[in-house]
Amino acid sequence: MEKKPKTAVPTPVSVRPDMMRLVDEIGPEGILLGTHCKSCGAKTAGKNRHCRNCTSSEVETIELSSGGILINYTIVHRAAPTWTGQVPYILGEVELPEHVVVTSEVVDVRPDEIEEGMQVKLSFRVGGHTKSGDPIVVYKWTPA
Q: Are 21 and 14 in contact (CB under 8 A)?
A: yes
Among 15, 31, 42, 107, binds Zn ion (CB under 5 A): 42
Q: Does 56 bind Zn ion (CB under 5 A)?
A: yes
Q: Are 70 and 141 in contact (CB under 8 A)?
A: yes
Q: x/- string (CB under 5 A) for Zn ion, residues 102-131?
A: ------------------------------
Q: What are phi and psi of 138, to 5 degrees?
A: -115, 160
- Sign (positive or negative) of CA dihedral 50, 56, 57, 58: negative
Q: Does 51 bind Zn ion (CB under 5 A)?
A: yes
CA distance 139 to 122: 6
> Site size for Zn ion, by CB under 5 A?
8
Q: Does 74 bind Zn ion (CB under 5 A)?
A: no
Q: Does 54 bind Zn ion (CB under 5 A)?
A: yes
CA distance 86 to 6: 30
Q: Please identify, using beta-carbon distances, which residue of 54 and 144 lies nearer to Zn ion.
A: 54
Cβ 27 to Zn ion, closest distance in Å? Answer: 35
Among 37, 64, 102, 137, binds Zn ion (CB under 5 A): 37
Q: Are 44 and 74 in contact (CB under 8 A)?
A: no
Q: Does 40 bind Zn ion (CB under 5 A)?
A: yes
- Residue ranges in contact with Zn ion by CB under 5 A: 37, 39-40, 42, 51, 53-54, 56
